[in-house]
Amino acid sequence: MQYFQPLINTVAGHNPSPYLSPETSIIKLNSNENPYPPSPQTLAILKTLDGEWLRRYPDPYSQEFCQAAAVVLGVPPDWIIVGNGCDDLLSIVIRACADRTRPVVYPTPTYGLYHTLAELCGVPIVEIGYDTRSSLPIDKIVAAQGALTLIASPNSPSGHQIPLAELHQLAARVQGVLVIDEAYVDFAAGSALSLVKAYEHVMVLRTLSKGYSLAGLRFGFGIAQPPLLAGLFKVKDSYGVDAIATRVAAAAIADQPYTQACVAQIKTDRKLLSVALKQLGFQVPPSQGNFVLATHSDAQRLHNCLKNQGIWVRPIHQLGRTHQLRITIGTPDQHQQLLKSLSAIL
């Protein structure tokens, strides 16, 4: 019996990482989660919520969060849209902007869900390989004439951040909407947020999953000028973000001292781990994310051996690559166990 439209039968779908209980003894360095807990200020909010917050429908615009975020970001509250994670916002913008005559365009390798979400919408997809040393292929992207262009910066799995000057050039020339996915920007040297103020067709995406230790909350937000957001609100589920998530997210983004302290620790440990991996024979390019991309000729065997020892890292198979591991920045103790295991295997 045929249950689905033909498109569904041709789409591979997204394959998320297996869920592990927080009580697990496995060292989980494969999903780019923050190794530190949310801020005490954030957790305290949960204790203030009573049944009224569950009985009533949530604010469809999450104004409490938007007002708190506006102070941090330096934009008006009505320049912010929230979603059930950045993936929700990516789905919204693809559905709102793409059509069957103009493609979704993005450089590769990059976040694999871009392909899945565009594929599910049945829209054309143009994937353009990065130039040498991860330079943005601006001419090729512009020539593709996309309805929507997606750029992850910092990118995953590379950890490379696109220079602001290159993004500025692209924004000035590209057709359609340009979305700059800054899921990892908390660990980077800068941001492309200024482009939102300069260009009406540019949107920047952020998440609380990485820098704010709230991956389980599923809370993402986008920043763009109101004319662009107006169309997205037509597509967005009015109650897609619940009342508890909005309150917790508002407290989290307001507690910048705690977040910045955690981020500083992760950036320090990122540098130390990179040096240690290089000493073991890995190639490790600079990263602006909360992870490193480690290249080794025996990467697949190393991945399997680590997994057998209860240490999970992510093998990268994009574009035929089989010799790379993406390793999330964990705690110093987790790194010590990882390096000890790698030394024994090698």
Residue 319 has pLDDT above 60, yes or no: no
What pLDDT sits at residue 77?
98
What pLDDT sits at residue 6?
84
Q: What is the DSSP string of 55-98?
A: HSPPPTT-HHHHHHHHHHHTS-GGGEEEESSHHHHHHHHHHHH-
Domain at 19-37+257-345, CATH homologous superfamily: Aspartate Aminotransferase, domain 1 (3.90.1150.10)
Residue range 266-281: mean pLDDT, rounded = 98
Determine the CATH number of domain 40-254.
3.40.640.10
Q: Where are the domains positioned within the chain?
A: 19-37+257-345, 40-254
Give the integer Cα–Cα distance in Å for 142 and 145. 6
Q: What is the pTM of this model?
A: 0.95
Residue 120: exposed, middle, or buried by beta-carbon count in 10 A (0-12, 13-18, 19+)?
Answer: middle
What DSSP character marks residue 216? T
Residue 134 has pLDDT above 80, yes or no: no
What pLDDT sits at residue 18?
82
Residue range 154-158: mean pLDDT, rounded = 95
Lowest mean pLDDT among 3-12, 89-98, 141-150: 3-12
What pLDDT sits at residue 1?
66
What DSSP character marks residue 280? T
- CA proximity to 162, closest of 188, 199, 126, 197: 188
Upstream peptide bond of 154 is cis (omega within 30 degrees of 0)? yes
pLDDT band at 21 (very low <50, low <70, confident <90, very high): confident
Give the integer Cα–Cα distance in Å for 180 and 154. 9
